[in-house]
Structure 1
Amino acid sequence: MSAVPTPPPTAALSTEAASPSAAGGRASKSSFGAESTMSLLVESLKDRLLFAVPKKGRLMEKTLELLAGADIKYNRAHRLDVALVQNHPIALVFLPAADIPRFVALGSVALGITGQDVIAESTHAEQITELLPLGFGKCSLQVQVPVTGPIQTLEGLSGGRIATSFEVLAAELFNGKEGVDAKTGKKTKVEYVGGSVEAACALGMADGIVDLVESGDTMRAAGLHAIHTLMKSEAVLITSRTPHPTVTPDLAPLIPLIKSRFAGFLASKKYVYASYNIKRESLPKAMKITPGRRAATVSPLDEEGWVAVSAMIEKKEVAKVMDDLEKSGAEDILIFALDNCRVGV
């Protein structure tokens, strides 16, 4: 792999002014200025792989933790939306999560992290390959109505008013490709609301809403409940199905490397390493308790009729697994935390 290049003077660009959210526009509608800025970045950072990551919001904190776990080291200057990675020829580009699918689909950046809901809303899903589910940012995009309201079905909302920040997906659900509900022949009015969507019904702006639900606390506090789920979503690592020419043979190996490191770090957070000794005659029962992520490792002990077993088990199941192993006759049961690992993807 080539050496990390010296940062060019134009690398320290900010997309703050060019991003739609900074300009007060909708995050899902990227401005020409943002695209022009991105073109300049691509031109000035040809020797680096451009990796778009969320600059704020619900995905940013977990993404930064993931980058640290993958040993991607960088310094980000205050208010600058480009950070040069110190130990790899990579440049991180901090963008609104809603803009990332567009830039990845166009090949302006090689990799990105964003939510599946954002990809679906962007209309660029067919141009994007999901490389790895990341296990955070999990939520559901749901149709919600007032609990005590007269409308409690999708059919009841047909021809009514829907408030949402997911205009594309909501319009597809209610009006389809023909622009009207196929069952009722009515056109449902889908109106964009950028924030506090859950208040739209109480304010008389809408008969129902389409919004993301994580814990459901906000929905219930607003007196709403879900009547339909459009999709479930989580953060994903994505790339374009048509790689940009700037992804040179020297840079291309970075993509599977990053994917492998992410998968390993995520596995280390999900699993622990279990080790125990057990009589061979009791091994079949123990194998059902600790089958391992792929398979358990079994080694003979010096003592006749005994074996040592090691396997990865889910962290959330540790106490129960240890109890069940003890009941099956296992001894010397040890649990080891994993700082990191590689699992093969």
Structure 2
Amino acid sequence: MTRPLGITVSRHIMDSQRLHPEATGDLTGLLNELIVAAKTISAEVNMAGLADILGMSGKTNIQGEHVQKLDDFANNTIKRRMARCGYICAMTSEEEADIIPVVEGYEGKYTLAFDPLDGSSNIDVNVSIGTIFSIHRRLSPDGGPGDESDLLQPAGRQVAAGYIIYGSSTMLVFTTGEGVQGFTLDPSVGEFFLSHPDIRIPEKSKYLSVNEGNYRYWQEPVRRYIEYLKEEDRATGRPYSARYIGSMVADFHRNLIAGGVFLYPSDSKDPTKPYGKLRLLYEAAPMAFLVEQAGGRAITDDGLEISEIQPDGLHQRVPLVVGSRRDVDLYQEFIRGQR
């Protein structure tokens, strides 16, 4: 079978670099290292049903959640790949409590925050999962190890962010601040090819992604917004259809392509997690950067732009409303009492 020639992700990144004569190639190198790690994880995910890698590892992460075996594998794969790459000064993982140092002498000028396997509670039931990453330029002086201040930067200062989703196909979606590009892995040749150029999220949607099992624990404006979207009014395209997977990277990806609004608001269900479940550095910030580059919007449930939040800890949680711009704007009208 003859395959059509396509643009590989490596060529796309190199072509983009040529448009910036001032570029040193470090960000290109960093992205390429992440892509190799993604291919390794993808291969293992695709074999998970045949290998002794499904299920729990017996460990718990910093969040107090059980770590699955594939979580462990993905986390270690990224750490090993990046520790000697020479492009980052420090990294942090959703699975670990503290900063992860790089090997001495290999410190670079960027930082990496990552969720090695988002949605891992769905591994055993074969639902799409993914790796999410966020890259900032370091703030501390070059030439030595990075510190926490390098990692605790607002989403608006990211130089790149993206995710790899492992589903019916493996896709890489990322931005370097110049639009959002999607690449699909061709396993027969081991290359990501450009399949979704210049992704733009529909301005308005008809899809709602939220865990309604938490309805009784939400604040009253959130409940009113959800009820509004479920009312019938053909003139405004209601009711919306529910689309909720429970794997954030999968819910976000579907909404990015087809349009939709995803909510994980604060709630009163668990006093230890009053701001909901999602982490700022590993989930909300990179998804905010992506959706804004695609024409959408990301805010907290009280209307604060995710891109403007100054992180106060490596594992800070935030409520999140993200997706099609007009749907997020509508949500903000409800919390401001304008609806």
For the aligned pair, the TM-score class normalised by the smaller chain equals under 0.3
**Larger RCO, structure (CA 8 Å, separation 6 or more):** 1
Bigger proportion of residues as helix? 2
TM-score (norm: length of structure 1): 0.26
Bigger proportion of residues as strand? 1
TM-score (norm: length of structure 2): 0.26
